[in-house]
Structure 1
Amino acid sequence: MPQPSPPRLTQAGNIIHTLPDCPGIYRFLDRNGCALYIGKSINIRSRVKTHLAEARGLSRKHRMLSETKCIDVRPTAGEIGALLLENDAIKKQAPAFNRRQRSIKKMWSYALTSGRGEFCVPTLQSYSMHKPEILASYGAYTSPSRAKKALEQATRDHGLCPRILGLEAGKGPCFNFQIGRCRGACADFESAESHNRRLKAALRFKGFSAWPVASPVLLHEVASDPTLQPAQEWHLLHNWAYLGTFDTLELARSAKLLPGFMFDKDTYHILRRALKHHPGPILRADTLETIEWLEPLTTR
């Protein structure tokens, strides 16, 4: 999509009328074209005007504007695109005057792997596109210790075996079985099939959030005023990761999914809200089948 020419920031009054009053992102750029600040708004013109009005004295915004040589904008079809593009741009460009969202907040999830005797064992991993199997992945945790506490809680609440799940070392019956809190998977009183079924139920209903489909999905966003902004955009999403925004369905479906898209906390929360409240259809990118999106439960 052709991008608007960046208006020169000579005097505040000279640029406001050139900015679009539609959703999108904007960047304050220094003399070398490096981003000093990246923001988003449902009305770019109004938001930039607020920045200029608040730049007084020795304030942080005054210092930012004193280094700013121009502003460029990227209109979007709607608010979801603005949120995703802003977060992506801040992560990649790390503007000096952005305090939030600059770093990728690494997240952790559980993948179910095969253990002894066909029992499923939760294995902690850092979620990324390098590991695209997502149907058996659960959780969005900011640290391994929080992930372990959540698994321990699910084990207690559902009478699962901590030894089978790798939470307790040793051989033979686990301590929980001896006090009546384990149904005996470790002592051959419960089959692998039964324990696996209860484990998956526990992960699903105790606040773990799995990406519910095996392929990337497409979220379609349509503009309210296509004279000012793109008429429509397609957002490509997978494994709670943002893979790009495209002008056409064909471009979105033909995009190559390169490795290295991390499971990022900020993106995760943006997508949870967007997918829950989006009024339009959500499609599988491979088949264009409409998905009935089920809102994941809140993670711990």
Structure 2
Amino acid sequence: MPEQPSADAIQSIKDALLEQVKSLPDLPGVYRFLGADGTVLYVGKAINLRKRVGSYFQKNDHSPRIRLMLAQVMRLDTTVVRSEGEALVLENNLIKALSPRYNILFRDDKSYPYVVITGHDSPRLAYYRGTLDKRHQYFGPFPNGYVVKESIQLLQKVFKIRTCEDTVFANRSRPCLLHQIKRCSAPCVDLISDDDYRADVNNAVRFLNGKASEILSELESSMQMASEGWRFEEAAAIRDQISALSRIQDKQFVSSNSSEVDADIVVCVISQGMICVNLAMVRGGRHVGDKNLFPSHADGYDAPAALEAFLAQHYLDRKAPPVIYCHPEPENATLLADLLSQQAEHKVVLNSNPNGERRVWLDMALKNAELAILQRSSQTATQHARLASLIEAMQWPDTIARIECFDISHTMGEATVASCVVYDRMDMQPKEYRRYNIEGITPGDDYAAMRQALIRRYGKIAAGEGVVPDVVLIDGGKGQLSMALEAMSEVGMLEPILLGVAKGETRKAGLEQLILVDRPESIQLRRDHPALHLIQQIRDEAHRFAITGHRARRAKARVTSSLEDVEGIGPKRRQKLLASFGGLQGVKAASVDELKQVEGISQALAEKIHAVLRA
């Protein structure tokens, strides 16, 4: 712990700060209050740096949050900028980068998903997150991945656009399963003309742009013409397309009569001591879903200030739509609108008092935010009760808060992965999860795998790189627990309580045995005990996280054991094999007799390929 300054030193620092404030310019800028250890406590913006920063030291009616922050301030840094808009941008860049403990922070760093139609000669329909490429067409963003994936599935039914990777598309020699179930028109093997495929792509683009009614009218006309021309199979195919497109309109989206193509609806609700921002999206005239965000460090903020912070942080690195309907009106609304317009390179309007259908959107968002607070409050109360029950049942101190849990996953020793999940602040903390690829052990030795994971995890924490947990759950019995105790002693970590969670005789949920190092007898809680439910929740999450990591590692290892590992198979023969069987999976499924039918593949080489790919 750094040595705390004396009272005289603190007063000297405060006097120095006051002198620094007097010398600040009457210009716009950003200021940063820092603590004794150099940590940034708070970042703020100002039209006039001297007046704004000076107000902190002249007023006595600050909120408890500001008073607590000022008591820790030991240093002041400032940056002068050209305008208030630049100050707003810099402020939120610094908030996102530094996460000051007294700034409200919306942790929404994951990029939003899009539907993309690529710019290839035979365009591909796909799910996309990340930086946008001008060569392709993007539709979105959408509030969650589920909406995008459902959109792609439904669009496949209507427009039959390919979704396969380019490497698969380039090496097909026969249609894939998606063509057989009428989800792709198979442009890879020329079962559709380039013009017809391009027409389907253009219709998909128009649909995503909100022009479904136009497409339906055109399809109905085409069906009528085909029917009148006695082309009944063609008419039936168009009829099926119309039917599927109509179902999409009914099923996928909440329809809108608005002429506006894109808009966001953002509301902020404060209730039960919590702040919730609900973000809903309208794309192509369709309401495509919403999401709720609960900010960190939100104490002391009112709704207008919180909404300003959200809008500035959320649209800092993404374009805003032409209209944002919001409630209540955010602080500095005019400044925000101007700044968002500059960033988006089109006019952005913040409307906090809409009428008609748009008012319904706002009301719906408000109800969703209120419901989210109720649900979160209920979940928090449940988690409080579960943790309190666990502390009581185990006779632990009331300070127990952070629990970490480990699990091991492998397939008969192959691709062993250890997972570590974290429960803290009354919830699972996915951003703090870690996986460990286990190497250098006897395949299938779970004791050695767990030992390696614990040493790698807590060796770093013992050296000061991380947070020491209060409890470490080990998925296993007395043997695993003893090994864990040795590993923790080896790295010098004696603080965490070690708790083994052994499955019962029949391995059914509810029969778990809880094993502590300092107690000779195991503990079995009743099936409906809240403490057991918390342990099961954490353990099951560790199990899920380990399995997904193991499957990904195993799949990667098996894919790399491919044609490139077969001696005697060069680029030309590899290309012929992939083209003949439609990809690597087709080659793996082929028999020796089928393999040797490919030009350049002898009996001996076919047997070698078969053996390597089936290993």
Q: TM-score, normalised by structure 2?
A: 0.28
CA RMSD of aligned residues (A): 4.6
Task: Report the CA distance between 1:70 and its aligned residue.
Answer: 1.7
Instruction: Count matched residues.
Output: 206
Q: Which residue of 2 aligns with 1:113?
A: 118
Task: Report the CA distance between 1:93 and its aligned residue.
Answer: 1.4
Q: Which residue of 2 aligns with 1:89?
A: 94
**Residues 149-164 of structure 1 mapped to structure 2, 5 A cutoff:** 155=155, 160-161=158-159, 163-164=160-161
Specify whether residues 51 and 134 from structure 1 end up closer, same or farther in structure 2 by C-alpha distance, changes over 3 A only. farther
Q: Which residue of 2 aligns with 1:141?
A: 142
The structure with the largest alpha-carbon Rg is: 2
**Residues 185-264 of structure 1 mapped to structure 2, 5 A cutoff:** 191-204=196-209
Larger relative contact order (C-alpha < 8 A, sep ≥ 6)?
1
**Residues 39-78 of structure 1 mapped to structure 2, 5 A cutoff:** 39-52=44-57, 53=59, 56=62, 59-78=64-83
Specify whether residues 296 and 63 from structure 1 end up closer, same or farther in structure 2 by C-alpha distance, changes over 3 A only. closer
Give, as a single letter, the amino acid of the residue that structure 2 aligns with 1:141.
F
Q: Which consecutive unaligned segments of at least 5 residues does structure 1 have?
A: 1-7, 176-186, 210-263, 283-291
Specify whether residues 54 and 145 from structure 1 end up closer, same or farther in structure 2 by C-alpha distance, changes over 3 A only. farther
Give, as a single letter, the amino acid of the residue that structure 2 aligns with 1:120.
P
Q: Which residue of 1 aligns with 2:125?
A: 122
**Equivalent residues of 2:115, 2:152 under 8 A apart:** no
Give, as a single letter, the amino acid of the residue that structure 1 aligns with 2:129.
S
**Equivalent residues of 1:35, 1:95 under 8 A apart:** yes
Q: Percent identity?
A: 21
- Give the secondary-structure state (helix, strand or coil) at the position aligned to 1:33: coil
Task: Report the CA distance between 1:67 and its aligned residue.
Answer: 0.9
**Equivalent residues of 2:116, 2:125 under 8 A apart:** yes
**Residues 159-174 of structure 1 mapped to structure 2, 5 A cutoff:** 160-161=158-159, 163-164=160-161, 170-171=178-179, 174=182
- Give the secondary-structure state (helix, strand or coil) at the position aligned to 2:161: coil
In structure 2, how many angstroms separate the alpha carbons of the residues matched to 1:29 and 1:165? 54
Question: Comparing both structures, which one devotes a greater share of its residues to helix?
Answer: 2
Task: Report the CA distance between 1:28 and its aligned residue.
Answer: 0.7
Q: Which residue of 2 aligns with 1:225?
A: none
Deviations along 1:46-88, whole A, 9 cap, x unmatched? 433454536647x111111111112211111113322221222
Q: Which residue of 2 aligns with 1:287?
A: none
In structure 1, how many angstroms separate the alpha carbons of the residues matched to 2:33 and 2:161? 54
Q: TM-score, normalised by structure 1?
A: 0.51
Deviations along 1:184-226, whole A, 9 cap, x unmatched? xxx96981211222333344458579xxxxxxxxxxxxxxxxx
- Which of residues 16, 21, 24 in structure 2 aligns to 1:19? 24
Specify whether residues 101 and 200 from structure 1 end up closer, same or farther in structure 2 by C-alpha distance, changes over 3 A only. same
In structure 2, how many angstroms separate the alpha carbons of the residues matched to 1:23 and 1:112? 44
Give, as a single letter, the amino acid of the residue that structure 2 aligns with 1:72.
D
**Equivalent residues of 2:99, 2:105 under 8 A apart:** no
**Equivalent residues of 1:275, 1:293 under 8 A apart:** no
**Equivalent residues of 2:30, 2:87 under 8 A apart:** yes
Specify whether residues 188 and 137 from structure 1 end up closer, same or farther in structure 2 by C-alpha distance, changes over 3 A only. closer
Q: Which residue of 1 aligns with 2:316?
A: 267
**Equivalent residues of 1:91, 1:103 under 8 A apart:** no
Deviations along 1:229-259, whole A, 9 cap, x unmatched? xxxxxxxxxxxxxxxxxxxxxxxxxxxxxxx
Give, as a single letter, the amino acid of the residue that structure 2 aligns with 1:164.
I
In structure 2, how many angstroms separate the alpha carbons of the residues matched to 1:47 and 1:271? 29
In structure 1, how many angstroms separate the alpha carbons of the residues matched to 2:142 and 2:349? 13
Deviations along 1:100-159, whole A, 9 cap, x unmatched? 2456243223332378xx54333222213xxx6234242223421243456679x59xx9
- Give the secondary-structure state (helix, strand or coil) at the position aligned to 1:28: strand
Further displaced range: 63-72 or 75-84: 75-84
**Equivalent residues of 1:141, 1:147 under 8 A apart:** yes
**Equivalent residues of 2:119, 2:136 under 8 A apart:** no
- Give the secondary-structure state (helix, strand or coil) at the position aligned to 2:126: strand
Q: Which residue of 2 aligns with 1:248?
A: none
